[in-house]
């Protein structure tokens, strides 16, 4: 089985080598507000990855792949310009924080044994 990085070609291989969010924006020539990126950089990149997983890139030319990647980064960025990471809930920990948890409250009188002679 070949290594995953060796299977990537073109723009996907190029993106795989990047580490900073700013590099993704520069490589794909997507303008950004540094303040938005400072707050949501990991969320934006994760959302871009989610969008790319649902985008078929195999049969496109390298030029078309670059355009699709650029569009998905722009789309992910726009999500966080319009709202916050907490509202978007990209990561599991934020998704779980939104789900209601059972109330663990037990009244003190419920812990005391019933008085003698009560039913």
Does residue 73 lie in a domain region? yes
DSSP, collapsed to helix, strand or coil, labels residue 22 as helix
Which is higher by pLDDT, 97 or 115?
115
What residues make up the domain containing 38?
Answer: 4-93
Q: pLDDT category, 7, cuts 50, 70, 90?
A: very low
Residue length of the chain: 119
Does residue 103 lie in a domain region? no
Q: How far is CA 24 from CA 63, 74, 111, in A?
A: 16, 11, 58
Does residue 49 lie in a domain region? yes
Does residue 64 lie in a domain region? yes
Q: In this predicted model, what pLDDT tens digit does every residue of 36-88 receive, in sequence order?
A: 999 888 889 988 988 988 877 777 788 888 999 999 999 999 988 887 655 55
How many structural domains compose the chain?
A: 1
pLDDT at 80: 83
Does residue 108 lie in a domain region? no
What's the Rg (C-alpha) of the chain? 24
Does residue 56 lie in a domain region? yes
């Amino acid at each position: 089985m070949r290594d995953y990085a060796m299977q990537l070609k073109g723009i996907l291989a190029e993106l795989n080598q990047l580490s900073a969010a700013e590099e993704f924006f520069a490589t794909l020539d997507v303008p950004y507000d540094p303040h938005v990126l400072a707050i949501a950089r990991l969320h934006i990149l994760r959302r871009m990855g989610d969008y790319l997983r649902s985008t078929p890139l195999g049969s496109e030319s390298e030029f078309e792949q670059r355009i699709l990647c650029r569009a998905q980064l722009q789309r992910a960025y726009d999500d966080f310009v319009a709202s916050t990471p907490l509202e978007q809930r990209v990561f599991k920990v934020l998704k779980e924080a939104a789900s209601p948890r059972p109330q663990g409250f037990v009244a003190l009188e419920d812990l005391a044994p019933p008085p003698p002679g009560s039913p």
